[in-house]
C-alpha cells in the first residue's frame, strides 16, 4: 500500500496508518515492512511541505476481512498479495564442485564468487589490484607524487571501480536477485535503508568496512583471493566449442573448469588479449562529458527551497534530464569530492565520490551525452575515442593531472574562464576551453542541457558551477557477445563475461546482480 507521511514521522506512526488503512489496530498486524521510500518535493515553491511517499507491505491475519479492508482493496489503495514473496536466494541448487576462477573483485566478481563458493565450488578470485588497505596507500601515493600506479588505483583493486564512490545503489534493473544482494550488504554493515530508500547510498567510508566484512564472509565460504594477480592469457582447448582450461596470470597458471570475466570497464589491455583469443566484442554506445561542481548550498536551496531541511533530509541530490537534447546528469555525489579516476600515465578522467555523511559542502555530478560508434566500427573504436579525449584533457591541464576547468557560464558563452574557483578535485584545476575539447555534437548537447538544468535548478549553469573534465568512463564502450540463457561468451562453453566490462551493467547493483545471475547459470540453476 502507498502511504504519504510527513518527513520525520516515526515508524509507529507509519504502522498505525497502515493498520488503519486495512481496518486493524497496529498490534493486530502480523508483519510490517517498508518496501520503498522516496521524498516528494513537489509543490515546494507554493509552500507545500516535502513528505515521504512510502510503499509498505503488511501481513494481516488470514481470517481478516471487513468493510474497511474491502473498501481499500476496491479503491486500489491496498493491493492483495498471496503472501510476501519468498526472496530469491543467492544460494541455489545445482551442480557444484567445479573449479571456478573469477577475474575481478568488483561487485560483479564478488557476487558471482559468493554463491558459487556457498554451493561448494572451488573458487579463486584474482584481481590485478591490491587489497583495500594497500590500495588506499597506493591512491594516497598517487595524490602525493602525481604518478599513478597502473595496477592499483581508483579503478583497480578490491571492491572494483566503486570502492571510492558515493556507493549509490539506485541504478537498478528490477532483478529479483537485487534483494538478496542488498541483504548481503546489510549483513556486512551497510545501513538497512539501502533495502528501501529510493536514494540509497553507502558512502566510501562505510563501503570499506562492508567490503572487508564481505571478504571475510567469502573466505569463510572457501573463496581464495589472489591480489596483484593479473590475467595475462587464456589456455584454450579447441573442439566444437572452445573451452578455457587454464588462466595464465602474473602469479602463475590457474587450471579451471569455468572462468568468470568480471574485469570492469577499464581493463583495456585485457580486452585486446581476449579478442586475440577469439572472444567476440562489439562497440557499443557510451557516455562522455564532464564533472560539474557547485557549492552544496546552491543545490540544497534549489531542491528544498529551504536549506533548513538539510538536517532532516540530508544534503540534496539531483538527477536532471534534458529531453530531446541527449544530455543528462549522472552519478551525483552530494557533499562529495571530484576524483581523478586514472589508471594509466598521461590520461586524465574525472569521477565523483562521497562519504556517508555527505558533508564536504560541495556537490558534483557528471553531465554527459551519448557517443555512438559508427556502423561497422572496430570493436575497440570507443576505447580509442576515450583515450584520445583523456590524453587531450591531460595536456590541457598542463600534463601533471591538474584538470582543465571552465565555469558553466563560460562554457555556455564559449569563453575561457579567467580563473576557476575552488574545486574539490585533488590536483587543482587550470582554466581551459572544455567546450573546444569535446566534439561539436557533445558540446552542443551539453550546452543545451546546461541551459535546461539552469531552469530546473537555479544557478546550475551560472558562475558558481565549475566544469572539470573530462568524464569518459561513465559507462563501458564495448560489449562481449554472450549466450542469453547460458551466459557463456559466444563460441565458448565455460567462459562467462559479466558486469560493466562485458557491457551488461552500468553501476554497482546491476554489476552485482549480473554476477549473481551468472553464477546461477553456471550452476545450471536457471536452465
Ligand atoms: C569513482 C567512481 C565512482 C562511482 N560511483 C558509483 C556509485 O555511486 N554507484 C554506482 O552504482 N556505480 C558507481 N560507479 C560505477 C561502478 O563502480 C561500476 O559500475 C561497477 O564497479 C562495475 O562493477 P564490475 O564488477 O563490473 O567492475 P569493476 O568494479 O570495475 O571491477 C573490475 C575489477 O577487475 C579487476 N581487473 C581488471 N582487469 C583485470 C585483469 N586482467 N586481471 C585481474 N583483475 C583485473 C580490476 O582491478 C577491478 O578491481 C563509480 C565508478 C567510479 C570509478
Tell me the pLDDT tens digit for each residue of 7-38.
878 888 888 888 888 888 888 888 888 888 88
In the structure, what pLDDT confidence band is assigned to residue 81 with cuts at 50, 70 and 90?
low
Minimum mean pLDDT among 90-94, 102-106, 128-132: which range? 90-94
Residue of 342, 344, 347, 434 whose CA lies nearest to 399: 347
CA–CA dist 51, 41 (Å, integer): 7
Q: Is residue 339 within a helix (H) or strand (E), and if so which, with residue range?
A: strand 336-340
Ligand 1 centroid, distance to 355 Cα (angstroms): 18
CB 81 within 8 A of CB 56: no
- What pLDDT score was predicted for residue 366? 98
List pLDDT tens digits, range 33-62. 888 888 888 777 677 778 888 888 888 887
Tally of CB atoms within 10 A around 189: 16
- What pLDDT score was predicted for residue 85? 40
- What pLDDT score was predicted for residue 90? 61
Model-level pTM? 0.92
- What pLDDT score was predicted for residue 87? 43
Rounded mean pLDDT, 76-105: 69
List pLDDT tens digits, range 260-319. 999 999 999 999 999 999 999 999 999 999 999 999 999 999 998 887 889 888 999 999
Ligand 1 centroid, distance to 64 Cα (angstroms): 49
Q: Residue 447: pLDDT above 50? A: yes
Report the Cα 344 to chain-centroid distance in Å. Answer: 22
Ligand 1 centroid, distance to 158 Cα (angstroms): 9
Pocket test for ligand 1, best of 113, 162, 352 (most atoms within 8 A of CB): 162
Q: What is the CA radius of gyration of the chain?
A: 24
Rounded to 5 degrees, what are φ and ψ at 378? -55, 145
List pLDDT tens digits, range 147-205. 999 999 999 999 999 999 998 898 777 788 998 999 999 999 999 999 988 888 999 99
Closest Cα to atom 27, ligand 1: which residue? Answer: 264
Give the residue, 307 or 459, on which the prediction is more confident: 459
Whether residue 173 has its Cβ less than 6 Å from ligand 1: no
Closest Cα to atom 18, ligand 1: which residue? Answer: 507
Whether residue 333 has its Cβ less than 6 Å from ligand 1: no
Sheet holding 252-255, edge to edge: 231-237, 243-249, 252-255
- What pLDDT score was predicted for residue 96? 62
Pocket test for ligand 1, best of 107, 111, 161, 197 (most atoms within 8 A of CB): 161
- What pLDDT score was predicted for residue 70? 80
- What pLDDT score was predicted for residue 307? 78
DSSP letters along 430-459, please? EE--HHHHS-HHHHHHHHHHHHHHHHHSTT
Terminal CA-CA length for the chain? 34
- What pLDDT score was predicted for residue 57? 81
Pocket test for ligand 1, best of 275, 508, 513 (most atoms within 8 A of CB): 508
Q: Residue 3: pLDDT above 90? A: no
Cβ density class 345-384: b for 16+ within 10 Å, e for less: eebbbbbbbbbbebebebbbbbbbbbbebeeeeebbbbbe
- What pLDDT score was predicted for residue 329? 97
CATH code for the part of the protein at 2-75 = 3.30.70.2700
- Residue 138 CA neighbour count, 13 Å, CB half: 22
Whether residue 262 has its Cβ less than 6 Å from ligand 1: yes
**Helix residue ranges per DSSP H, 123-281:** 132-145, 178-187, 204-220, 268-276
**Residue 499 alpha carbon, nearest atom of ligand 1:** 26
The set of cell numbers assigned to 99 is 573449479
Whether residue 126 has its Cβ less than 6 Å from ligand 1: yes
Whether residue 365 has its Cβ less than 6 Å from ligand 1: no
Whether residue 203 has its Cβ less than 6 Å from ligand 1: no
CB 72 within 8 A of CB 161: no
Whether residue 107 has its Cβ less than 6 Å from ligand 1: yes
Whether residue 353 has its Cβ less than 6 Å from ligand 1: yes
Ligand 1 centroid, distance to 510 Cα (angstroms): 11
Whether residue 341 has its Cβ less than 6 Å from ligand 1: yes
Q: Residue 79: pLDDT above 80? A: no
Rounded to 5 degrees, what are φ and ψ at 283? -75, 140
Q: Residue 221: pLDDT above 80? A: yes
DSSP 87: P
Closest Cα to atom 49, ligand 1: which residue? Answer: 160
Q: Residue 527: pLDDT above 80? A: no
- Give the residue range(s) of CATH 3.50.50.60 domains in the chain: 99-282+478-522
Ligand 1 centroid, distance to 242 Cα (angstroms): 28
The set of cell numbers assigned to 487 is 551466459
Q: Residue 492: pLDDT above 50? A: yes
Could you identify the residue written with the cell 558471482? 112
Q: Residue 84: pLDDT above 50? A: no
Rounded mean pLDDT, 339-358: 96
Grouping H, G, I as helix, E, B as strand and the rest as coil, residue 336 is strand
Ligand 1 centroid, distance to 264 Cα (angstroms): 5
Whether residue 342 has its Cβ less than 6 Å from ligand 1: no
Mean pLDDT across the chain: 92
CATH of 99-282+478-522, one of 3.60.10.10, 3.50.50.60, 3.30.565.10, 3.60.15.10: 3.50.50.60
In the structure, what pLDDT confidence band is assigned to residue 94 with cuts at 50, 70 and 90?
low
CA–CA dist 433, 414 (Å, integer): 8
Whether residue 105 has its Cβ less than 6 Å from ligand 1: yes
- Give the residue range(s) of CATH 3.30.70.2700 domains in the chain: 2-75
CA–CA dist 159, 127 (Å, integer): 10
Residues 6+ apart with CB under 8 A from 180: 87, 88, 89, 90, 516
Residues 6+ apart with CB under 8 A from 88: 176, 177, 179, 180
Rounded mean pLDDT, 438-464: 96
Category of 203 on φ-ψ map: left (φ > 0), alpha (ψ -120 to 50) or beta: left
Amino acid at each position: 500500500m502507498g502511504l504519504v507521511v510527513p518527513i520525520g514521522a516515526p515508524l509507529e506512526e507509519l504502522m498505525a496508518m497502515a493498520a488503519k488503512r486495512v481496518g486493524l489496530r497496529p498490534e493486530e498486524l502480523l508483519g510490517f515492512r517498508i518496501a520503498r521510500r522516496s521524498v516528494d518535493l513537489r509543490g515546494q515553491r507554493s509552500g507545500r511541505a516535502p513528505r515521504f511517499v512510502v510503499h509498505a507491505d503488511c501481513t494481516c491475519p488470514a481470517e481478516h476481512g471487513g468493510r474497511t479492508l474491502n473498501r481499500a482493496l476496491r479503491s486500489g489503495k491496498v493491493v492483495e498479495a498471496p503472501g510476501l514473496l519468498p526472496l530469491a536466494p543467492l544460494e541455489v541448487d545445482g551442480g557444484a564442485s567445479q573449479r571456478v576462477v573469477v577475474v575481478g573483485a568488483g561487485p560483479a566478481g564478488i557476487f558471482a564468487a559468493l554463491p558459487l563458493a556457498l554451493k561448494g565450488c572451488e573458487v579463486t578470485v584474482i584481481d590485478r589490484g591490491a587489497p583495500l588497505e594497500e590500495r588506499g596507500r597506493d591512491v594516497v601515493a598517487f595524490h602525493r607524487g602525481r604518478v599513478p600506479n597502473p595496477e592499483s588505483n581508483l579503478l583497480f583493486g578490491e571492491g572494483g571501480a566503486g570502492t571510492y564512490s558515493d556507493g549509490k545503489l539506485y541504478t537498478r534493473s528490477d532483478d529479483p536477485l537485487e534483494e538478496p544482494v542488498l541483504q548481503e550488504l546489510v549483513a556486512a554493515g551497510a545501513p538497512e535503508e539501502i533495502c528501501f530508500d529510493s536514494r540509497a547510498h553507502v558512502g566510501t567510508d562505510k563501503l570499506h568496512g562492508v567490503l572487508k566484512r564481505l571478504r571475510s564472509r567469502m573466505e569463510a565460504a572457501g573463496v581464495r583471493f589472489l591480489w596483484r594477480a593479473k590475467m595475462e592469457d587464456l589456455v584454450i582447448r579447441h573442439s566444437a566449442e572452445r573451452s578455457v582450461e587454464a588462466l595464465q596470470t602474473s602469479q602463475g597458471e590457474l587450471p579451471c573448469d569455468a572462468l568468470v570475466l568480471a574485469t570492469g570497464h577499464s581493463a583495456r589491455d585485457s580486452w585486446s588479449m581476449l579478442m586475440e583469443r577469439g572472444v567476440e566484442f562489439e562497440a557499443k554506445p557510451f557516455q562522455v562529458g564532464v564533472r560539474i561542481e557547485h557549492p552544496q548550498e546552491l543545490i540544497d536551496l534549489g531542491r528544498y527551497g529551504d536549506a533548513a531541511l538539510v538536517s532532516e533530509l540530508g544534503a540534496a541530490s539531483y538527477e536532471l534530464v534534458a529531453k530531446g537534447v541527449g544530455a543528462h546528469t549522472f552519478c551525483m555525489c552530494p557533499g562529495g569530492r571530484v576524483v581523478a579516476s586514472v589508471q594509466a600515465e598521461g590520461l586524465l578522467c574525472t569521477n565523483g565520490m562521497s562519504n556517508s555523511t555527505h558533508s564536504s559542502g560541495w556537490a558534483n555530478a557528471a553531465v554527459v551525452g551519448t557517443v555512438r560508434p559508427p556502423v561497422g566500427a572496430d570493436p575497440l573504436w570507443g576505447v580509442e575515442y576515450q583515450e584520445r579525449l583523456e590524453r587531450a584533457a591531460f595536456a590541457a591541464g598542463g600534463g601533471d593531472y591538474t584538470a582543465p576547468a571552465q565555469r558553466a557560464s563560460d562554457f555556455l558563452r564559449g569563453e575561457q574562464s579567467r580563473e576557476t574557483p575552488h574545486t574539490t578535485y585533488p590536483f587543482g584545476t587550470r582554466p581551459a576551453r572544455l567546450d573546444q575539447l569535446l566534439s561539436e555534437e557533445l558540446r552542443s548537447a551539453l550546452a543545451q542541457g546546461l541551459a535546461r538544468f539552469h531552469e530546473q535548478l537555479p544557478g546550475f549553469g551560472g558562475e558558481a558551477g565549475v566544469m572539470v573534465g573530462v568524464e569518459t568512463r561513465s559507462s563501458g564502450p564495448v560489449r562481449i557477445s554472450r549466450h542469453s540463457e547460458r551466459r557463456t561468451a559466444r563460441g565458448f562453453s565455460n567462459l562467462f563475461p559479466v558486469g560493466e566490462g562485458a557491457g551488461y551493467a552500468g553501476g554497482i547493483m546491476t554489476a552485482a546482480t549480473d554476477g549473481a545471475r551468472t553464477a546461477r547459470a553456471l550452476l545450471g540453476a536457471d536452465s
